[in-house]
Every structure is written in C-alpha cells, then in structure tokens.
Structure 1
Amino acid sequence: MPSAFLRLSSLLVAATLALPAAAAESSWYPYPAEVTTPAFSADGKTSPIEYNALDKAAKPHNLCVSFPHMKDAYWLGVDYGVTQEAKRLGVKVDLVEAGGYTELAKQISQIENCVANGAQAVIIGAISADGLNSLIAEIHKKNIPVIDLVNGINSPDVAAKSLVSFYTMGHSAGAYLAAKHPAGAAPVKVGWFPGPAGAGWVEAANKGFLDAVKGSAVTVLPPKYGDTGKEAQLKLVEDVLQAEPDLSYVAGTAVTAEAAQGLIRERDLKGKVSLLAFYMTPGVYDGIKRGSILAAPADSMVIQGRIAVDQAVRILERQSYEKHVGPKIFMVDSSNISATPREAILPPERFSPVFKVD
C-alpha cells in the first residue's frame, strides 16, 4: 500500500476510534469529511472538516428518498444511514427504489408521485447524471429542495450534495495498482468493470481509474459496462476470463468483486487473478478479511445517507448547511482492515431494507 494511503487510513481510523464506543445513534458525528469549494464544481478544491449534525429536527418534516435499486449491499448501507438518521432527527421518510439502472422512467414517476403526496424535500440517488434534470427543475420551481445523494446529478437546481468524488474512488483503486506495478515492472493486465454505462458515478470512476494507471506497468482492457446486479457482472467477468487467459486482475464495482470470488475459486485462479473494488460493501469488507479480495477504498456510504437527511432538515429549517460534502475516502486492505471498525463504514450485519419512517 502506498505510504499516502497508509497515512490517510491511519488518520481515519484514529478519528473513528476517537468517537464514543459503539457509535450510538446520537453520536455518529463529528465525522471526518471533506467539503468542495466552490460547491457543485467538478474541479473544486476539497478541504477537510469534521461534520456535525443537528441534535433534532424542529418539526417532523416529510422527506422523499429515491434510490436506483436495492439489489446490492451498497444501497442497503445508504438505506440504513438515511432511515436511522430520520429516526434520530424525528422526521418522516418515504423511500422508493426503481429496480435498476435501466429504469430511469420509473425513477422519474416514483419521484413525481412522492412530490404529489406532499414531500417537503427530495433526496435522490440518481440513475442518470442528466436524465432527471427536467424533473428537478420542476421540483425546484415548487421550492422543494433536492439533495443529490451518492451518484451525482449535473442539474444546477440541486440544493446540496452528499457524496464523495467517484473520480477519487476510481483513482484510489487505480493508484493502488499502479504503486504495486510501477513503470519498468513486469506488465500486468486488468479486466475493468466500472458499472452501468451513462451513470455519472461510473463515468467519474472510469476516468479516475484510467488516469491513475497511466505511466505504470498496468494495462487496462476496454471497460465492460453493465448493470450492478450479480448475474450481469458475473457474466461479464466470465467472458473476459475466457477471452484473456493471462489476466492478472479483475477490478470494478463492489458487486463485480463479490460475484467473481466464487468464479476465481471454481477455476482455481486464486493467486493468479486478484480482485479489486473501487468502493466498499459488506461483501467486499468480508472478502478482504478472508483474503479473497485484495482491497477497496471506503466511502462510508452510511454516513453519506445520514448527511443527506441532515442537509434536508437544515435547508427546511433555514439553518446553515454544507452544500457539497462527503466522508473522507481511505483505502482498506489486509494491512489495515483489522484496525478499521466495520460499523464506521458499513451497515450492521443482517440489516433489512427499510422503506418508511413515520
């Protein structure tokens, strides 16, 4: 692991361990985060802060929350953060999920229904970076704030963003590989599976990953795009393994890494083909602990969900708020996973989806 990653992960772990034991619901904050200035700028400057949330909402506001899907543990973690923070603050949530990254029309319809049913603020994990812009403009005209959660929305009408830079997530994963295989080392070939084509977070991660490996001994095959369902990702990985017998790495979404573990075992490729994800899920965390997944950056998706709810309440109550903020990113691998508490970056084990908070 590069020394910069070691320093950053050590700082994050130290900050997390400084929080009260067992991370009680009222004490998840202060949390190490970064704000982007100017807000909503793709190339804005990031600055470290400690994020602090409200103690309680003044009123039981009605929030609408829209996810692309709930097919993998990543969005389950965001769901945990959103619904737990709503309960802690004392606000109401109606959460909908569209069923996948091909379901833009369904996501639009679900959000329209949410607004028609009296939502006072809308939190969106967007299927498309641009596909919701007309809808968001209409919501904005009704003075209903929209918070961009996790995936990235290009609309100028969003009120706040609770997310990390997926460029940085992809870059972190790529830099990790580049440090292992610098220029002049023996060349290695990487199968790259960034997720569904057209999604803002996918394009950002793709660019970050490819930029990070430039000038190294890492050769990245053309990206294989696909929905983040396990069956879709498994089929893509199978095809690349078949076509590229000299493959050294499978890198991509957390679902890619999770799905590929069994395939690597079945084909007796452990030790020959290593798995790397560019974001963290419970399955990836467990895979790193077992040694079946090499590494992944942690973006603390639970905290992203919590911050989005806090932002929504602050906006509705005309309180000051960070417009563009996200948890600090750090790499996790075998060298530091034992010192990285699971509850700091992931939902509890056996957590089931929650769609409504009254």
Structure 2
Amino acid sequence: MTKTLTKLTLGTALGALMLPGAALAQDSWYPYEAEETTPAFATDGERSPITYEALESAEKAWNICAALPHMKDAYWLGVDYGLVEEARRLGVKLNVTEAGGYTELANQISQIEDCVSGGADAVIVGAISYDGLNSVISEVADQGIPVIDVINGVSSEDIAAKALVSFNTMGSEIGNYLAEQHPEGSEEVTVGWFPGPAGAGWVEAANTGFMDAVEGSAVTVLEARYGDTGKEAQMSLVENVLQAHSDVDYIAGTAVTAEAAQGLIRERGLMGETGILAFYLTPGVWTGIERGFITAAPADSMVIQGRMAVDQAVRILEGKDVVKHVGPKIFVINQDNIAETDRSAVLPPEDFSPVFSVE
C-alpha cells in the first residue's frame, strides 16, 4: 500500500521526525527528514521540509540499472550500499555499473546504452557530466524508460525524478563556517580550495556556494585546483599547494581531499596550524572529525539518496505518487555532535564491499 508523502512546516517537520542521522532500523529507514524542491528540477526552486515515506514493497521484480561514475572512494560505495539495500528491501532486481572515473564519459554513455539493451525498466544515473549525458538520457526516455538523476545532477529535461541535495548548499556550509570564523576586518587567512573534477554539475554548484559564502570575509581563496576524486590525484594537488604556499591556513574541498590532506599535514608538522574542511562526508572524514584532524563536514546522507532513487524508480514504474525532486536534509557534523549521530544512517557499514547485482 502506498504511504503518503506529507509536506510539513519546518517546525512540524523537526517535531515529528527524528533528526537526520538518528538511529533507524535497517529494514525501515523511513520516515526520513527530507527536502522537496518545487518546481521540480528547477535549479533555483524552493526547498521545503517533508516527511519521506518509502514503499513497503514493489508489486513485481522490476529490472533497474544504476550507472555510477566510479567506486574509487567510500562516497560512491555508500551510494552503492543504499541502492543495493533498497532493491533488496523492495524486492526488485538491480544491476550497478561504474565508469571508472570522471574522465570516462564515453564509457558511462555506453554503460547506460547497455542497460537499456539489457532490458532495464528504469535507469538511475550518477552523472559524470552535468550536460554530457543529455543525448543518451533523451534516447532512453523516448523509449518510455524513466531515468532518475541521483547525487550529481544533470541539466536534461527528460529525467523522471531527482534524488539529490543541493551541492551549492554543501559548499556554502563550509564557506559560511570560514566566514564566521574569519569575518571582514579580522586577520586575513588563506584557503587552498579543491572542488573536484571540472565540469561535473555537483562540483560547479559546490564551488559557487563556497565562493559566494566567503565573499566579503577575511578569507582569501587560492586558485581552485580541480581534479579527479581519486586519492592519488587529490594528494598530488594538495602537495602542490602546500609546496607553493607553506603558510596556507586551511585546506578545503572534497572528502577525498580532506582524507589525503591529513597525512600530508602531519608529515609537514602543520597540525594545529593548517585546518582541514570537507564539503561532504565519507567514512574517512568521519574518522578524521572523531580524531580531531578534520574540523567539520556537512552530511548529505548518500546512502539515503541511493535508497530514495530506487524508491522513486519503483513508484514511477507502478504509477504511484512520487516526489519528483527530493533529497535528505543536510546537516553539519563536527566534534560537538558526532557522538550523538548514528553513523549507519549516513554512511555505509565499515565492512561493506561493492555489490554490482541484486537478483
């Protein structure tokens, strides 16, 4: 039976729901505090708090395919975990592919085409490029196969639903932290900024949010260093900045950047002098915050985004009510609240390995 998706006022939402990251049973992750964007798919749409309720089960074993950018870091491992667990819970089939990195657009396009030729009823896409998949998405949609945009965002108007958060907000959360710590008129600080792979929609959104947030403060941002979110690539970028700017006050950027920076900062004896910030959360960042090596990171609950995408796909295939543009509510994790936050609600289990098929 379809559960209702009720729009709430902010006060009602906070009163009626457990806070993001509160403990939830593994087989019943909902209701979940979320935000709906209206009008759906609008980049400047209004976000309103809702109670997200998932289906109890699917009517049939639908064949769903998910195309992800890579499995190089724990973030996309978390998305995989969410997709897989929700497919199992609902009783649908799932095939997961990974393109190998943000330089592999052609590979992801080919994988999406293979999904369709393999009989997929719906396709979930974690896009490598904001604009580069528009043609293949249009081709898939023209065949009556719904395409769900998860995590990264695409500009295509042919998608059926979005399960994602605003990376503009994710970037601005970290920018706001720096601006509050170093307001205009205070001593100037320098930040090395590592937004991720150039051209990806989530990267450009995070970059805009971050830069807008620090504008007018005492924060000076060095030239953005773009690069793939593989650990070696990010480590090389951070090393280059530390060599050129040994007095940099902060390293801020992707979760992989923050993870890589910890060792480099320790090696150079800069602990306590150069702070580290990430604009999204991974297990490595979580541990870094626990140990006091990383200051803070906003949590976008990538596991829940994966679950929402599968639920949306099934709802669309079964002609049921669906929130077309939704994502978990963003909240910042730091040393003040990490002990009260349930790790399993926002990150995959520590022993989880990639799963590519659910039968």
Q: TM-score, normalised by structure 1?
A: 0.95
The structural deviation recorded for 1:16 is 4.0
Letter in 1 for 2:336: S
- Hey, which bits of structure 1, 4+ residues long, moved more than 3 A? 16-19
Q: State the match for 1:15 in structure 2.
A: 18
Aligned to 2:73: 72
Where does residue 3 of structure 2 map in the other structure?
none
The 3-state SS of whatever aligns with 1:247 is coil
Aligned equivalents of 1:60 and 1:255: distance in 2? 36
In the other structure, the counterpart of 2:275 is 274
Answer yes or no: is 1:244 the counterpart of 2:252: no
- Please give the alpha-carbon distance, in whole angstroms, between the structure 2 residues aligned to 1:43 and 1:112: 31
Contact 2:189 2:249 in 1 (8 A): yes
Query: How far apart are 1:24 and its partner, in Å?
Result: 2.3
d(CA) in 2 for partners of 1:268, 1:15: 41
Structure 1 residue 221 corresponds to structure 2 residue 225? no
CA distance in 2, matches of 1:220, 1:125: 29
Q: What is the CA distance between 1:159 and its match in structure 2? A: 0.3
Determine if the alignment matches structure 1 residue 62 to structure 2 residue 97.
Answer: no
Whether 1:255 and 2:235 are equivalent positions in the alignment is no
1:231 paired residue number: 232
CA contact (8 A) 2:21 2:343 kept: no
Residue aligning to 1:3: none
What SS class does the counterpart of residue 226 from structure 2 fall into?
coil
Unmatched segments (≥5 aa) in structure 2:
1-9
Secondary structure of the 2:191 match is strand
**In the alignment, what sits opposite 2:186?**
185
Residue 286 (structure 2) pairs with residue 288 (structure 1): no
CA offsets 1:278-318 (integer angstroms, 9 cap, x no match): 00001001100000111000000000000000000000000
Superposed, 1:142-153 pairs within 5 Å as 142-153=143-154
Shift of 1:17: 8.0
Distance 1:300 1:97 in 2: 20
1:161 Cα offset (Å): 0.1
In 2, the alpha carbon distance for the partners of 1:283 and 1:246 equals 25
Corresponding residue SS for 2:18? helix
CA deviation digits over 1:223-271, x for unaligned, max 9? 0000000000000000000111220000000000001111111111001
1:36 and 2:29 are equivalent in the alignment: no
Amino acid of the residue matched to residue 317 of structure 2? L
One-letter amino acid of the structure 2 residue matched with residue 126 of structure 1: A
Distance 1:156 1:274 in 2: 40
- Percent pairwise identity: 67
Contact preservation (8 Å) 1:26, 1:55: no
| Mapped partners of 2:25, 2:97: distance in 1 | 27
Q: TM-score, normalised by structure 2?
A: 0.95
1:331 aligns with 2:332: yes
Q: Confirm or deny: 8 A CA contact 1:83 1:93 kept in the other structure.
A: yes
Q: Unmatched 5+ residue regions in structure 1?
A: 1-6
Query: Does the residue aligned with 2:124 lie in a helix, a strand or coil?
Result: strand
What corresponds to 2:343 in structure 1?
342
CA RMSD in angstroms, aligned pairs only: 1.5
Residues 64-143 of structure 1 aligned to structure 2 (within 5 Å): 64-143=65-144
Cα shift at 1:344: 1.6
Is the Cα contact below 8 Å between 1:191 and 1:251 reproduced in 2?
A: yes
3-state SS of the aligned residue for 2:27?
helix
Greater helix share, 1 or 2? Answer: 1
